Structure 1
Amino acid sequence: MELLSNNVVALIPIQKEHASGILTAAQFPEIWTYMSVTLSTLPEVEAYIGLWQQKARQSSACAFTVVDQQTQQIVGVTTFMDISTAHRHLEIGSTWYTPSVWRSAVNTNCKYLLLQYAFETMNMQRVQIKTGHENKRSQRAIERIGATKEGVLRNHMVQRDGRTRHTVMYSIIAEEWPHIKQYFKDVLQVN
C-alpha cells in the first residue's frame, strides 16, 4: 500500500518506527471507550503494529499511521480491513484519533483519501464502516460523509468490559461514490 496524503493529513502504512509517536497520541483513556484494544505501553503499541503488519503481509488489511501535516505529529491510526479483491469490498475501521483532533478536519480528510483510493485505485464496489451502537460521535461522523445505514447486528460483540455491543453497519457503494466525492470536494475544497 502506498502513502496517501493531502495538505491536511498523511496516511503512512504503519511502521515500527511510528511506535513512540503512536504511544504519545494514544495516551488518553477516552480514546479507548469503544475500542477493542487499548494502547498504553510501548510493548502494547509494538505488538499492535506487528499485528497490523502481519495482516498486511496476508493482504487482508492495511493500517495507516495518521500524521497531521501542519504539526507533523502522529495523531492516530486508521485501517483498511477485510479486504476482498475477489468480491471487491473492504472495510474502513479500527480508526482512532488523539482527542486534540476530534471535530477537526482530520477524520473527514482521512475518509476522503481512503474512499478515493478504495474506489478509484483498488476498484472496490463496496466499502463498509461499522461502529458500536453507543458510539454516537462515530455514527454522526459516518452519516455526515454520506454512508448509508444498513442496519444493526444485534449482540454482535462482547466489549472489553463485558458489555454487549450491537454493531451499526454502514456502507458506500461504487455507484454512490461520485456523489459522495462531490460532497467531499465541496466541504474540503479539494480538486
Structure 2
Amino acid sequence: MQTWLSPITLEGNLVKLVPLQKSHKKDLLDAASDGKLWELWFTSVPSEKNIDAYLEDALNAQKEGSAQPWVILDKASNRIVGSTRYLNVEAPHKRLEIGATWYAKRVQRTGINTECKYLLLQHAFETLNAIAVEFRTHAHNLASRNAIQRLGAKQEGILRNHRIDPQGNYRDTVVFSILESEWPTVKYSLEYRMNKKY
C-alpha cells in the first residue's frame, strides 16, 4: 500500500483545507446550492442525487492511495465553501493532479481559489517533492482554463474525445502542468498576487 499521501490539514490566511469526511455531506450540499453548481454541465459538483456516490468515490480513492480529497473552509465565515483534491496520483513517478475543485458562488473571484492552489502546490512540491503537478479541465470550461493559466501552469495539450459524460456528450480535456523547476517562479507570482490583494 502506497503511503506517499496522508490526510493533512492545510491552512492559509483565508482558507483551511480539511480532509474530506462523510460528516461533511450537509455542508457540501449547502455550498453547492449557492449558485446551483450541479447545473453546470461541464463540471462534477455534488447534488442531492449523487452526494453519497461522490463521497464514496472520493474516500475509496483516498483509501487506494490515488487521491486526497479536502473540503474548503472559509475562515471568515467558518463555513465549508467547496471541495478540492489531489487525484490521479502516481506515487512512484512523483506526479499528481489537482482537480475536482469547485466553490460556492459567493466565494468565486475572492482570492480563495488562489490561496487554495498555493497551499496545494506548496505541499506537493515542498513536502511531497512532486516533480510535476497537472490540472485538467473540460475544454468548454473557459473560466477554469483561464484560472489555471493565471496560476502559471502551461498548457500541454487537449485529449480529444477523452470522456463520455452522463448525457452521452464527448468531453475534450485540456491538460496543463507546472514542473518542479517552475515552482519557484510560480510561487513568487502567487505570493505577489496574494500580498497585493490582501
More moved, 25-34 vs 49-58: 25-34
Q: TM-score, normalised by structure 2?
A: 0.90
Unaligned runs of 5+ residues in structure 2 are 1-6
Deviations 1:151-184 (A, max 9, x none): 1111111223322211111000000000000011
Superposed displacement of residue 44, structure 1 = 3.0
AA at the equivalent of 1:23: L
- Asked if residue 15 in structure 1 is aligned to residue 21 in structure 2, the reply is yes
Report what 1:34 is aligned to.
42
Between the aligned partners of 1:13 and 1:138, the Cα distance in structure 2 is: 23
Partner of 1:67: 73
Contact 2:37 2:104 (8 Å CA) reproduced = no
**What is the aligned-residue RMSD (CA, Å)?**
1.5
* Residue identity matched to 2:58: W
Write the distance in 2 (CA, Å) between the matches of 1:22 and 1:165: 25
Instruction: Report the count of equivalent residues.
Output: 188
**What percent of counterpart residues are identical?**
37
- Counterpart-to-counterpart distance in 2, 1:61 and 1:74: 20
> What aligned pairs does 1:113-132 form with structure 2 within 5 A after superposition?
113-132=119-138
Aligned pairs for 1:16-165 within 5 A: 16-27=22-33, 28-31=35-38, 32-35=40-43, 37-41=44-48, 44-165=50-171
Paired letter, 1:29: K
Q: What is the TM-score of this pair, normalised by structure 1?
A: 0.93
